[in-house]
Amino acid sequence: MANTLGELTAITVLTPIKPGWMVWLRPAFYIGQNVPLVSKVLRQLSFIHFARWCVIERIPYNGPPQEKEDLHYRYLYFESNFNGTWDQYIDAFSHIIPQQMWVVWGSSFGFPGAVPVEPFKDYIRRNEYVANHYYCAYPDATTTMITSALELEQRFAEFKREAESLGPAAFATAYRDFLTDVQRHL
Partner 1 sequence: MANVFGQAYALTVITPIIPGREGELQTYLEALPTGPDSPLAKVTSTHVARWVIIPQLVYQGRPQQSDALKSQYLLFSSSFDGDLDPYLDLLSTRMPAEIEAVWGHCAGYPGLEDRGLFKRYIRHNQIDSQFFVAAYPHSTVAQVRAALALKERILAFALEAQGMDDEQLHKTFRERLLSTPVGGLTVATKTATSQMDLADIQGNILRGYSFPAAAYVIVHVNDATAGRRFLGGLVDPVTTSTEWEVDKPETTVNVALTYSGLEAVGVPERVLDAFPDEFRVGMAGRAELLGDTGPSAPENWDPGLGTGEAHILVILYARSEETLPAHVRWLEGTITEHGGGLEIVHRQLAALLPFGREHFGFSDGFAQPAVEGSGVPGLPGQGVPLKRNRWRDVKAGEFVLGYPDEDGGLPAAPPDPLGRNGTFVVYRKMHQDVALFRSFLREAGKNFPGGEERLAAKIVGRWPDGTPLTLSPDRPDPAIANDQQKVNDFRFADDPDGLVCPLGAHVRRTYPRDALGWGGMMSLRHRLIRRGMPYGPALPLDAPDDGVERGLIFVCFQANLARQFEVMQGQWINDGNAFGLGHDRDFLLGDNFGSGKMTIHGNPPYLITPQPSFVTIKGGEYLFKPGLDALRALANGIRA
* Smaller CB separation from partner 1, 81 or 94: 81
Of the candidates 24, 14, 11, which has an alpha carbon nearest to the alpha carbon of residue 110? Answer: 14
Spatial separation of the C-alpha atoms in residues 139 and 129, rounded to whole Å:
21
Q: Provide the 3-class DSSP secondary structure of residue 68.
A: coil
Q: Which residues, 91 to 150, sit near partner 1 by CB under 8 A?
A: 108-110, 126-127, 129-139, 141, 143, 145-150
Question: Contact between 36 and partner 1 (CB under 8 A)?
Answer: no
Among 63, 165, 180, 184, contact with partner 1 (rule: CB under 8 A): 63
Dist CA 105 CA 53 (whole Å):
10
Least CB distance to partner 1 at residue 115 (A): 19
108 exposed, middle or buried (CB, 10 Å; 0-12, 13-18, 19+)?
A: buried
CA 43/CA 97 separation, integer angstroms: 12
Residue 35 interacting with partner 1 (CB under 8 A)? no
Among residues 54, 85, 99, 122, the one that binds partner 1 under rule CB under 8 A: 54
CB of 41 or CB of 115, closer to partner 1: 41
Task: Tell me the HSE value of 37 on the side-chain side, using a 13 A CA sphere.
Answer: 4
Closest distance between partner 1 and the C-beta of residue 59, in Å? 7
In Å, how far are 58, 79, 111, 113 from 24, measured between CA atoms? 19, 20, 16, 17
Using CB under 8 A, which of the segments 36-44, 84-92, 114-122 binds partner 1?
36-44
Binding to partner 1 (CB under 8 A) within 68-87 occurs at: 68-69, 71-73, 75, 77, 79, 81
- Segment 155 to 174, residues that bind partner 1, using CB under 8 A: 156-157, 160, 163-164, 167-169, 171-172
Q: By CB under 8 A, which span of 6-14, 84-92, 114-122 interacts with partner 1?
A: 6-14
Rounded Cα distance between 37 and 27, Å, is 15
